[in-house]
Amino acid sequence: MKCFSKLLLFVFLGSLLYSQEGWLVIIGGGKRPDYVIKEIITLAGGNKSQILIVPAASEDQLDSSLYARHQFESCGAENVRYIILKKEEVDSSENLSIVKRSKAIFFTGGDQNRLTSFLLGTKFLEEIKRIYREGGVISGTSAGAAVMSKIMITGDETLVKEEKKDEEQGFRTIKRNNIKTAEGFGFLENVIIDQHFIKRKRLNRLISLVLENPNILGVGIDEETAIIVEKGKRFQVLGEGTVMIFDARKAKEISDDKNGNISAKNLRMHILKSGDSFDLQRGEPL
C-alpha cells in the first residue's frame, strides 16, 4: 500500500512537471533589440541551449534564417539552427529530431497565413507545443507574433477590396464582421495578439475584434517591443515602444447600427511601457 501511494505521488508530480508551461516572447515586429534576444537566450537556459529558427512565414526562408541566426549568435548563442521547411516534408524524421532537441523556437516574420498553412495539424507543431508545456521558450516576431493567439488576425478585411487596400486605407472603421481571422497556434487562448501596432495605427481592427469577442483581451504590441509571458498568466513589457490592451469584459451595451458600426460603453484600455507588467487572468496591470 505504501509503495502504491509513492507510485501515485510520483505519477502526480510527473504530470505536474509535464503540464508546466514555459515562456512566450512575443515581438511586435521591426528591429529586434539585442536585449530582447538575450532574454530569449537566458530563458532558454543560456548560451549552449539549442535555439531553432522556423522561417516558414517568409517567402525567402534562407535569408530570414541567416539574419535571425546572426543576431542570436552575436548575442552569445552558441547552438542556433534553422529549418527550411517544405510542406510535404514538415513531419520528416529529420525535422522532428531537430525540433525535439530544441529548448527555444523562434518564428520569423512574413505572412502568418503562410506559417499556419505549413504547421497547423502537424507533428512538428505538436513538438513545439510540447517544448512550451515542459518549460521551454516560444518566440516570434511580426507574423510570428500573430500566430501565438488562438484567434489569429490574418491581415485581411471584408469591407475593403484588396486592390484598393494599403497601409493608409486599411482598417478605417470599427465595424462588425470586417476583420478576417483564422486559427492560430493557440499558445494564448484568451488573448488576441496584434503587431506593428502603434506605428501602423492598427487600433481599429483590434478594437473591432475585442468588441466582437468581449471575453478575450486584445493586446497590441508595437515595433521593437516584446511581451514576455510567464506560463500564460502574466507578462512584462520589454522594448523601445509600448503595448496597448483593450478589455471589453465589463463593457456594457455592445451593439451595432444598420451600417455595422459597433458601439460600447465602459471599454477599458491600458498603455504599458517597458518594465510594466500585466496580469492576464485578472486583466489588471501589476
**pLDDT of the residue at 166:** 53
Is the Cα torsion angle 222, 226, 227, 231 positive or negative in sign?
positive
In whole angstroms, give the CA distance from residue 41 to residue 44: 5
Give the burial string for 144-165 (b: 16+ CB within 10 Å, else e).
Answer: bbbbbbbbbbebebeebeeeee
Based on the number of CB atoms within 10 Å of its own CB, is 5 exposed (0-12), middle (13-18) or buried (19 or more)?
Answer: exposed
In whole angstroms, give the CA distance from residue 152 to residue 141: 14
**pLDDT of the residue at 171:** 81
> Whole-prediction pTM value?
0.89
**Other C-beta atoms within 10 Å of 190: how many?**
16
In whole angstroms, give the CA distance from residue 108 to residue 159: 29
In whole angstroms, give the CA distance from residue 220 to residue 222: 7
**pLDDT of the residue at 173:** 87
Question: What cell was used for 142?
Answer: 511580426
Do residues 149 and 192 lie in contact, with contact meaning Cβ atoms separated by under 8 Å?
yes
Question: What cell was used for 164?
Answer: 484598393
Do residues 193 and 148 lie in contact, with contact meaning Cβ atoms separated by under 8 Å?
yes
Q: Collect all residues with Cβ–Cβ distance below 8 Å to 21 and sequence separation of at least 6.
A: 132, 133, 135, 231, 232
In whole angstroms, give the CA distance from residue 14 to residue 133: 12
**pLDDT of the residue at 169:** 54
Hey, what amino acid is at 207? Answer: I
Three-state SS at 115 = helix
264: phi > 0 → left, psi -120 to 50 → alpha, else beta; which? Answer: beta
From first to last of its 286 residues, the chain has per-residue pLDDT tens of 444 444 444 444 444 443 468 999 999 999 999 999 999 999 999 999 999 999 999 999 999 999 999 999 999 999 999 999 999 999 999 999 999 999 999 999 999 999 999 999 999 999 999 999 999 999 999 999 999 999 999 998 887 665 455 555 568 889 888 999 999 999 999 999 999 999 999 999 999 999 999 999 999 999 999 999 999 999 999 999 999 999 999 999 999 999 889 999 999 999 999 999 999 988 899 9
In whole angstroms, give the CA distance from residue 108 to residue 139: 9
Cell 525535439 belongs to residue: 100
DSSP single-letter state for residue 76: T
Do residues 111 and 142 lie in contact, with contact meaning Cβ atoms separated by under 8 Å?
no
Residue 54 bridge partners (DSSP): 107
Question: What cell was used for 105?
Answer: 523556437
